[in-house]
Amino acid sequence: MSTPNGAKLGDTSEPVDFWCAFKRVHEVLRTRVIADAAEAAGLSEPDLTILASLSRAGGALRQSELAAALGWDRTRISHQLTRMAKRALVTRERTGGAAVTVTLTADGRAAVTAVRPLLDAAVRRHFTDRLSAREIETLRSVFDRM
Amino acid sequence: MSTPNGAKLGDTSEPVDFWCAFKRVHEVLRTRVIADAAEAAGLSEPDLTILASLSRAGGALRQSELAAALGWDRTRISHQLTRMAKRALVTRERTGGAAVTVTLTADGRAAVTAVRPLLDAAVRRHFTDRLSAREIETLRSVFDRM
DNA sequence: CTGTTAGCGTTGACATCTCAACACTAGGAA
DNA sequence: TTCCTAGTGTTGAGATGTCAACGCTAACAG
């Protein structure tokens, strides 16, 4: 192992293996959690991400604020909102300049209210219940740093 | 907090917040790592995932083995291989029954060889270098359990 | 031989993500 | 005024992911 940091990962594994393991865990957990929670309410993962962010903000946000809060590209937000507006989960209206404010509809609010306890339960069952308190502490500290 | 496991996450945060933080970290790291490594070689992330798995197996695998190794759906493998075969990264041929064996081409082998050091460096810079030895140990143990 | 079952892969439709190009508004400089 | 620039959002094309339906081959039972 010629690089200075290689030893941290052990002599038999490369960083790319650590990366693949991380990707695999994310994929498995995502599939299980969404299957348990979102599908029961007829919501996809991106639906849920948008609705949760709007709900946390009180029900309305500008698209650029939504993009910043989620770390999403502007076009990704735009496409997703177009699909969600078609299903009456949100409404959009210009609010000064080129800015657009997104607002939860009654349907959207009902959907996020219904799915939240399911999502909490799914995350517990598939993820946090399988971790010790010390592991959760470590993960949270790592998440906050990234 | 009325549930037995709620206390593990602290009184001010729900499991769904822990889940969102995990998703966010995965998304940010994925974007950075792929931007650094794969794009430099003209490979997408799914390209790279397939090529790495084939390379590790010696250059050839049946589609069902590939699906099992990656935890992917059969149709996802099929669609992705169709795109990759079109770019001459792999070849496919029936090998008994309905089974199909996927083989790395010279181009595919060259691509994965070229990108691996870039990928290792990107994972180190954006991920493992920002973790302590103890954190890496904890994460690896969590990954193995999931 | 005929039908059945199981395993493996493909296809088409649709949802999602990314990128480049474009359009609109506001504000300031010439 | 006219031009330029920054900020914001939209659109279309192509790549990717997911789901349901289908086709093919082998093995086996009748």
In terms of DSSP bridges, do strands A90-94 and B60-62 run parallel, antiparallel, or are they unpaired?
Answer: unpaired
Dump pLDDT digits (tens) for B32-52.
Answer: 999 888 777 889 999 999 999
Average pLDDT over residues A41-66: 93
Q: In Å, how far are A18, A42, A54, A99, B32 from A65, measured between CA atoms?
A: 33, 26, 10, 10, 22
* Amino acid making up residue B55: S
Dump pLDDT digits (tens) for B54-111.
Answer: 999 999 999 999 999 999 999 999 999 999 999 999 999 998 788 999 999 999 999 9
Q: How many angstroms separate the CA of B99 from the C1' of C6?
A: 14
Cβ contact (<8 Å) for A146 and B119?
A: no
pTM of the model: 0.84
Dump pLDDT digits (tens) for B7-24.
Answer: 455 545 678 889 989 999
Cβ contact A126:A134 at 8 Å = no
- The neighbour count for residue B19, using CB atoms within 10 Å, is 23
Residues 51-110 of B with CB under 8 A from A: 52, 70-71
* Amino acid making up residue A111: A
Q: How many angstroms separate the CA of B97 from the C1' of D30?
A: 24
Q: Which residue of B has its CA nearest to A5?
A: B129
Distance CA B41, CA B21 (A): 30
Per the structure block, which two tokens stand in for B113?
């060889």
